[in-house]
Amino acid sequence: IVSLGTGSIIYWVTARQRTRQATLRRSQMLPALARALKTSGRCQACCPAASTLSRAWALGTQHDMSAPAHAPQSAWHHARHISSSSATHAAPGVLRDVVESQLESIKAASTYKHERVLTTPQSTSIGVRGSHAHVLNLCANNYLGLSNHPEVVQAAIDAIRSHGYGLSSVRFICGTQDVHKALEAAIARFHGTQDAILFPSCFDANAGLFESLLTDADAVLSDELNHASIIDGIRLCKAQRYRYRHMDMSDLEAKLKEATDKGARIKLIATDGVFSMDGHIAPLKEIVALAKKYGAYTFIDECHATGFVGRTGRGTDEQCGVQGQVDIINSTLGKALGGATGGYTTGRKEVVDLLRQRARPYLFSNTLAPAVAGASLKVFELLSRSTALRDTLEANTSHFRRRMTGAGFTIKPGTHPIVPVMLGDAAVAGQMAAWLLQKGIYVIAFSYPVVPKGQARIRCQISAGHTREQLDAAVDAFTEVGRDMGLIK
């Protein structure tokens, strides 16, 4: 609906704009347009609404720009005049003012995010634009140091030579190669599941799961601190939604009872295996027990666990002693498993089959690039061959946590290589990160809305690629800056 003074016109542009019916509607619109413009006494130069109408007119006449014989010439003049430059005059101030106001609020809260530009491959020591020397990287998801591992890089190169750069297609048309099927089989073997399906990212895997699987007859029970991709995925489905307190099994059980009493057909418990901001490991043993008690199913997001959590790196289910008892696992190829891109769902064969038919991110997104698939196959080969990288990461994490605690910093307890250094205030966290960069330590401050207000932090992430000397140098720099800022004694 577009208002022009006292005139109000409804005009719909449809896919059948070039039919006789659409032409007739446009002809009928012109007298109304003339009356509206005459009543308002306005034209495009000073009337954003007229400009909006003209865009609809321009779309509807892009294949027929001659005025109908019976069209009033004044109306035709205004329609042509308005449509010629409407794109730059469609209420330019409103969007700008709203966006700039939001940006100023973000800056005032010291939560505006600046992107630092790397000039080298991902590693524990990297080049950053503006820095004269390489800096020590403590903020990558490169847990196993595989992002630039020579065998992984060579596998990517080999895959490009044998399978090309891209496929220009979704999977079900002409985008499935043998390397994709081989990778899906390798993922299922690694997790001990029945089948697997690839997605462009784990965010896409989470976006595709809930809508495909659940209806308004079902219920999903989600930890309140689940990753944004799980939250967004749940929003896309029509299931009854229950949010339980973070890792609170009493609250989860209460929600399960409520969903059962309401007759939910499928009850799906959704949780991160490892929560990315705190490094907390979900109590999967208790969750699985509750699922069995109430006839529910379990789903875990393993992005910060696959490859290194658990005795052989199989993930949180292995760590908690419930391997083979979790129904659906989503994870990523973009963190510990080489760090490129791509995600997947693995679990029950019937679930994977349904996702191939219904998951929109799978059906409407290009297939994973052959180079990524080939390199990822090499990663699973390396991890199946030895636990050496996982064991080194565990030792490095223990050393860094012990030294940071000894220096007087408040860190979230745990054993995960995510080590949050708690600072509270967003401005303090940002300033500390900037000072550390000057001393050659690359870290990032996290604040609201990524974490709750008042819980700003620097999230350190340890890698198997870090040497003991690098970790000690990082702790020394933290200690020096912390004392200078009055944060520790």
Active site residues: 276, 304, 335
- For residue 435, with 0-12 CB atoms within 10 Å meaning exposed, 13-18 middle and 19 or more buried, which class applies? middle
Distance CA 469, CA 464 (A): 13
Please report which residue ranges of 165-283 form alpha helices under DSSP H: 171-174, 178-191, 202-213, 228-235, 249-261
Give every CB contact of residue 310 below 8 A, 6+ residues apart in sequence.
Answer: 316, 317, 318, 319, 323
Give every CB contact of residue 250 below 8 A, 6+ residues apart in sequence.
Answer: none
Give every CB contact of residue 19 below 8 A, 6+ residues apart in sequence.
Answer: none
Q: Determine phi and psi for 299, rounding to 5 degrees.
A: -130, 135
Residue 428, classed as helix, strand or coil, is helix
Distance CA 337, CA 155 (A): 13
Residue appearing with tokens 């510990």: 336
- For residue 286, with 0-12 CB atoms within 10 Å meaning exposed, 13-18 middle and 19 or more buried, which class applies? middle
Q: Which of 157, 290, 165, 159 lies closest to 223, judged by CA? A: 290
Q: How far is CA 125 from the centre of its chain?
A: 26
Question: Amino acid identity, residue 364?
Answer: F
How is the chain split among helix, strand and coil, in percent rounded to 5? 45, 15, 40
Q: Which of 236, 237, 233, 192 lies closest to 218, judged by CA? A: 237
Question: Hey, what are 400's tokens?
Answer: 């860094």
Give every CB contact of residue 358 below 8 A, 6+ residues apart in sequence.
Answer: 208, 211, 212
Distance CA 276, CA 302 (A): 10
